[in-house]
Amino acid sequence: MLPPLADRLPPLSALAERLAVPIRLSRAGCGPHSLPADQLLMPVRLSRSGPRPCPPARNRLPPPVSTRRALGDTARAAHTLAAHTAGMTTPFDAIVLAGGAARRLGGADKPGVRVGGRALLDRVLAACAGAGATVVVGGRRGTARPVLWTREEPAGGGPLAALDAGLRLTTAPAVLALSADLPFLGEPTVTGLLDVLGTGGREGVLCVDEDGRAQPLVAVYRAEPLRRELALLAAEHGSLEGLPLRLLTRELDLARLPAPQPLASFDCDTWEDIATARARIREHGNVLDEWITAVKDELGIDLDVDTGVLLDLARDAAHGVARPAAPLTTFLVGYAAAKAGGEGAEVAEAARKAAALANRWAAEKDELNP
């Protein structure tokens, strides 16, 4: 008969001696590091030079388990291999920071401020619609599409605390980090950032504005290096509260991408910025595209619209039939296209038929009035 389980186990003191091997966590890797025996159970602050005892701090954030593996050169090589073998745009999640105090707007609800009839937050969400999951860090509100919600700890704790909170709800290998006040951000910029990330082993890509400034909140990062650096910063400083973004970006191996779109990183910090954005979208060269995009978002339509075809149709109906025929005809073309399947090809075909009919009407009118 076997003795009781307790009699078969080694003494607890022996187990403690075997297990009490402190680990140094740093950007170079991890390994054993000795500490005095009387400090083994004390809180330790992780740093690049190794662990050292520290008193408990408010909001101390222990590194997630996944960050205890040192990434180093081996991980970068794996990132490069994955990028070359993926053969497609890197799958990504998006984190949108929407919890700032907006002091220069007098404390206004900046994500909800409207530009071109749409909330700033909704404009940003439209640009990152291809994300597997979208996490908004800030107060809950109605949005144009479903998102996940979370808050940084403490509320108003700054961009690094917000990034960390959002990152905890993501699972994709890449994370798009955006602020919620980018009225001109579009899908081409998001795609450009992901394409650069997917062609090399860098740990992230920052968008660079027209003045040459890198924008850490118009950027894409590999998730694991981002988790690693946030964990190290939290350990070194006691928490992420109030820490600036530059502490993060200077530790990551980042590429730079000139903005693929004009004003892609233009952000609205003041009422003057808001006025500039509102005026910009009403400029002659932008207003129709902005209006069509706003209408599609409002109606929940995902359709490429050839505005030239529809404008030509409206002109033909107005001149060949009567001016009020223009809006009625374009409505009927849209209805017919929806019944036929609702894709761009159906819109073009319906518009072609209606334009031909309008031209026949115009020909008959010319015959009546030679």
> Which of the residue ranges 30-34, 206-210, 250-254, 361-365 would you say has the lowest mean pLDDT?
30-34
Of the candidates 328, 306, 307, 303, the residue with the CA atom closest to the CA atom of residue 317: 328
Residues 97-106 have a mean pLDDT of: 80
Is residue 292 very low, low, confident or very high in pLDDT (cuts 50, 70, 90)?
A: confident
C-alpha to C-alpha distance for 91 and 168, rounded to whole angstroms: 17
Q: What is the 3-state secondary structure (H, E, C) of 53-84?
A: ECCCCCCCCCCCHHHHCCCHHHHHHHHHHHHH
C-alpha to C-alpha distance for 186 and 124, rounded to whole angstroms: 8
Instruction: Quote the percentage of the chain above a pLDDT of 90.
Output: 41
Is residue 238 very low, low, confident or very high in pLDDT (cuts 50, 70, 90)?
A: very high
Which pTM value belongs to this model? 0.68
Q: Which amino acid is at 53?
A: P
**CA 282 centroid distance within chain:** 26
C-alpha to C-alpha distance for 103 and 111, rounded to whole angstroms: 13
**Rounded to the nearest 5°, which phi and psi values hold at 128?**
-110, 30
* SS3 state at 19: helix
Average pLDDT over all residues of the chain: 78
Position 254 scores a pLDDT of 97
Is residue 288 very low, low, confident or very high in pLDDT (cuts 50, 70, 90)?
A: confident
Residues 314-360: tens digit of each pLDDT:
888 888 888 888 888 888 888 888 888 767 788 888 888 888 888 88
Residues 69-85 have a mean pLDDT of: 41
Residues 25-58: tens digit of each pLDDT:
455 544 444 334 343 333 444 444 444 444 444 4
* SS3 state at 174: strand
Of the candidates 325, 344, 324, the residue with the CA atom closest to the CA atom of residue 334: 344
Beta strands in the chain (DSSP E): 23-26, 29-32, 44-45, 52-53, 92-97, 114-115, 118-119, 134-137, 148-150, 174-179, 204-208, 214-222, 254-258
* Res 117 pLDDT > 50: yes
pLDDT higher for 122 or 106?
122
C-alpha to C-alpha distance for 21 and 365, rounded to whole angstroms: 94
Position 69 scores a pLDDT of 37
Query: Which residues, in sequence order, are CB contacts of 127 under 8 Å at separation 6+?
Result: 178, 182, 185, 186, 187, 189, 190
> Which of the residue ranges 98-112, 165-179, 182-196, 348-362 would you say has the lowest mean pLDDT?
98-112
Is residue 61 very low, low, confident or very high in pLDDT (cuts 50, 70, 90)?
A: very low
Tell me if the bond preceding 32 is cis, omega within 30° of 0. no
DSSP character string of 194-248: HHHHHTS--SEEEEE-TTS-EEEEEEEEEHHHHHHHHHHHHHHHSS-TT--THHH
Position 68 scores a pLDDT of 33
- Per DSSP, what are the bridge partners of residue 135? 95, 148
C-alpha to C-alpha distance for 64 and 339, rounded to whole angstroms: 52
Q: What b/e sequence results for 238-271 when a residue is b if at least 16 CB atoms lie within 10 Å of its CB, and e otherwise?
A: bbbbebebebbbebbebbebebbbebbbbbbeee
- Per DSSP, what are the bridge partners of residue 29? 26
* Res 264 pLDDT > 80: yes
C-alpha to C-alpha distance for 259 and 79, rounded to whole angstroms: 24
